[in-house]
Chain A
Amino acid sequence: MKHRTFFWFILPTLSAMILFIALPIVSVFIQSLFVEHEQVLIVTESCGPFGCTPTTTIDAEATAQLREEKPLGRFNGLGTYFDRSHLAIAEIGEIWRSTSGIGHFLAEIMDLKFYAALVFTLTYTFVVTPLVLVFGMAIAVGVNNLPRAVRGLAIFISLLPFLVPTIVGSMILSWMVDGDGVIGATLQSIFNDPSLSIKASTPLMWIMLMVYGVWHTLPFSFITFYAGLQTVPQDTLEAARVDGASKWQTMISVVVPHLMPLVSFVTLMLLMDNFRVLEPLVSFQAEAHAQSLSTFIVSDLIEAGNPLYASAGATSILTIIGVAILLTPVLIRTWRDFNAKAH
């Protein structure tokens, strides 16, 4: 294919991606360098019979005009990145100096908004991902052993939690685990504790969100591994059986190695998707107990009447750096593979 033809074919999709993915990232970065204007204040002296008192009022008109002229705000450099609600460099130094032990230090850190969100996001990602891989594999093997006639039905049911909109799926679960809902009430009667409420306890809420995460993404790893199982070479299995390997041994030394490329693909997808967890926290109304990096950005953007673009921008850039760190190993490997093929 000629360079010219290639260019014309790729033009629409490439321009869509540059305009609406690459440029917004630049725009986010620029936003993060500015802070919102301070409100324009007018100090007037109001004089009465007992002397003059200065009163301060907000000049709404001048503030609006200032916003109109410079919508980005005042230049602040990297200030927003280091302030209290982001990396909080000063606060961490302070805590470090006054701390009485590592446990205490970590507890104090969790009071800082950004670190709390980061810790939840990372915990969620690294708890949900391995669980989904293991259970997905186990269920794929199980379904593969089922009689052919019922496999279709099993796949149909399995697809539901994955394909239903995240917000709807998590809402359905949140109704069920509500103190009055069927699961919530059942748990209360099992533990004989009528005040037990998932929505009022931070640890229970974290567990619930991760249970939801596993429920929602398990079908994806299940389907992928199930498809992989269909391609396991039958003669290798036969050879293993002849050599006297048990079912479990064949599983470990034939089937799992065959599926390894799929495992790394599924892991990559799960890491990307779990790191941006957002909707379940909205549906479970979990903001008091858990914040993720994404909900942190949303709450800045919907700040009543006056969105905090700078703060949202800084968190976005930090999130993108997080994604980049997660992706680096995969990208390095792909690049090596590509070079190996080229030579």
Chain B
Amino acid sequence: MATKAESRLSTLKVVSYALVIVWLIIAAFPFLWTVWGSFKVQGDFFSKADWTNAIYGVFTTRETGSAFTLDGYRGAWIQEEFWRNVLNTSVIVFFTVIISLTFGTLGGYALARSGFKYAFWILMAALIFRAMPHITLVSGYMLPFFEWNIWGLKGTAIIVLVAINQPFTLWMLHSFFKNIPKDMDESAMVDGCTRFQAFWHVIVPVMWPGVITTGLFSFLLAYNDYIVTNMLLSKPNETMVPAVASFLGSVQVQGNIMFAVAAAVSATVPLFIMILFFQRQIVSGLTAGAVKG
């Protein structure tokens, strides 16, 4: 009996291990392949004749004299001025995160501490707003923004990103604040603080874990956004993600698809580093809404 149970148990284990390993390969392989390939020439990156060319860099050696080349990066960053897009991204992402968190902490705190019925309705409205496809909102902005002459500016995109981000930020911070005991700010108020003073001096110092996690998600939303930045920013204000997408169209004509590959890799590297350092916060953020809400 015991052997039968054990063998069944181990088959289950083997199957589940195999599944995990297959998944990890599927998840990692495209990135490894593309990062490696971004240092090759197009003939190697797309090697129909023999895929091992991409590993050894046969054409790259023939064309540039070495198995690795920085031509793709040089073309993207210098010739196509990708550094401008990187700069725009930093400005837009920085302000989006700061403003999102300021608005979100105030609102999230109020919702967590208010027992009124309308707090529930605001959270429900936020959930519905979270579901709105971004493109439907963008189609509502275009005409008024053109009329008021504020289309294409970084500031406009920042405000839009903050607003689109708010429902999620609000939910997340609200659930973090609920975990901070009510007694803390209430005792501060008994000691003579106003509500805002209690919030500022007592709650703000202990809320950092929640704020950092929420900030990471605001960062991701602003950084990864394609449709808002693509439709609402003029060419000189464009961020990295729409720039990568537009590379695809323009460089294919000139035969410089490696520029797009290099740009795509460049846009991924900051995220890679971020996941490396903040993995724990990201995981807790992904699950915060789920486990508690």
Contacts and interface: CB of A to CB of B under 8 A. Distances in A.
B51 A182 contact: yes
B137 interface: yes
Interface residues of B, number: 104
A22 B164 CA distance: 11
A20 interface: yes
B139 A301 contact: yes
A31 B143 contact: yes
Contacts of B169: 13
Contact of B16 (A145, A186, A323, A326): A145
Given A158-B24, A219-B27, A262 B163 contact: no
Interface string B208-231: 000000000000100110110001
Given A6-B116, A294-B135, A297-B136, A175 B51 contact: no
Secondary structure at the A interface, as helix, strand, loop or mixed, is helix
A172 B34 contact: yes
Contacts of A156: 275-276, 279
A168 B110 contact: no
Contacts of B199: 9
A309 B290 contact: no
Contacts of A180: 46-48
Given A16-B163, A31-B139, A298-B227, A21 B132 contact: yes
B47 A1 contact: no
Most buried by A among B5, B113, B166, B279: B166
A227 interface: yes
Contacts of B87: none
B152 interface: no
A316 B135 contact: yes
Contact of A138 (B9, B19, B159): B19
Given A20-B159, A168-B241, A163 B282 contact: yes
Interface stretch (A83-91, A201-209, A272-280): A272-280
A257 interface: no
Contacts of A168: 241, 244, 264, 267-268
B144 interface: yes
A3 B122 contact: no
Given A17-B167, A297-B139, A331-B124, A323 B131 contact: yes
B191 to A, nearest CB: 17
A248 B12 contact: yes
Q: Which 3 A-B pairs have the closest CB atoms?
A: A24-B140, A20-B163, A9-B110
21 contacts: A1-B115, A12-B103, A16-B163, A17-B126, A17-B129, A21-B132, A21-B137, A28-B137, A145-B17, A152-B279, A156-B276, A160-B31, A160-B275, A166-B224, A167-B244, A172-B264, A265-B289, A272-B131, A301-B138, A309-B139, A320-B133
Given A171-B260, A298-B135, A327-B131, 7 more contacts: A6-B110, A13-B170, A22-B129, A143-B20, A152-B279, A185-B48, A272-B131
